[in-house]
A and B are shown apart, each in its own frame.
Chain A
Amino acid sequence: MAKGVKPRVKVPKKAAAGDTITIKTLISHKMESGQRKDDDGNAIPRSIINRFTCDFNGENVIDVTLEPAISTNPYLEFEALVPEAGEFKFTWYDDDGSIYEESKKIAIG
């Protein structure tokens, strides 16, 4: 597991049924591209988050494939429909096999 990985997600606490909400996600990760060299001139191996998914009550919202050209601390912003109260589940997949998860509940009101 890469060090210091911390997912952060911004989801409104409440929404009206059928509403569109904006979700912002950020995960601290160095996203080593595999192109950089260390002081001795050796290439630093690639280590990135290669996939991100967001689901709401088991239904997919967005599925993103990330490549090394995504900046350090990958940030993603997108919009989702909220048909009912429930839980958003966010999953990040690391190159080294680690999976980082975060979930946020949303109420109708």
Chain B
Amino acid sequence: MELTRRNAILMGAGALLVAGLPIRVSAAAGDDAIAAFTGGAEVGTGDIKLTAPEIAENGNTVPIEVSSDTAVEILVLAMGNPTPGVAKFKFGKLAASRAASTRIRLAGTQDVVAIAKLEDGSFVKASSAVKVTIGGCGG
């Protein structure tokens, strides 16, 4: 193929499309996970708090904390990971507070999302952007 200006532009566009593909696939998987949790219900904002560091030097262990006063379940997702699911907390009768903290892996700079199912059946969401210096999913 002769390398004309038109062909060069086409090739560039093609390369961009291919490069952008994995990110979009992963984002769609995250949306699917949200839909599976909420059953398609609308997700508002409100009684949920997600604490995550702004910058994580090491993506292998990023401390996070979720809390919500009226949640029965909290789902945590890492939207930029190869598999977006992180954890799902179900609070029982003897849970003193609807809060938990743990350490998670992040593949790269991305948004961490927490969605809570409240006692009245509605869903609320909080998200936090985390900058990751070294990814935690090992190539």
Interface residues of A (CB under 8 A from B): 20-21, 33, 35-37, 55-56, 59-72, 74-81, 83
Contacts and interface: CB of A to CB of B under 8 A. Distances in A.
Interface in B72-94: 78, 81-94
B138 A69 contact: no
A100 to B, nearest CB: 17
- The secondary structure that dominates the A interface is strand
A71 B101 contact: no
- The secondary structure that dominates the B interface is strand
Interface residues of B, number: 33
Interface of B: 60-62, 78, 81-97, 99-106, 136-139
A76 B102 contact: yes
Contacts of B85: 67-69
A69 B96 contact: no
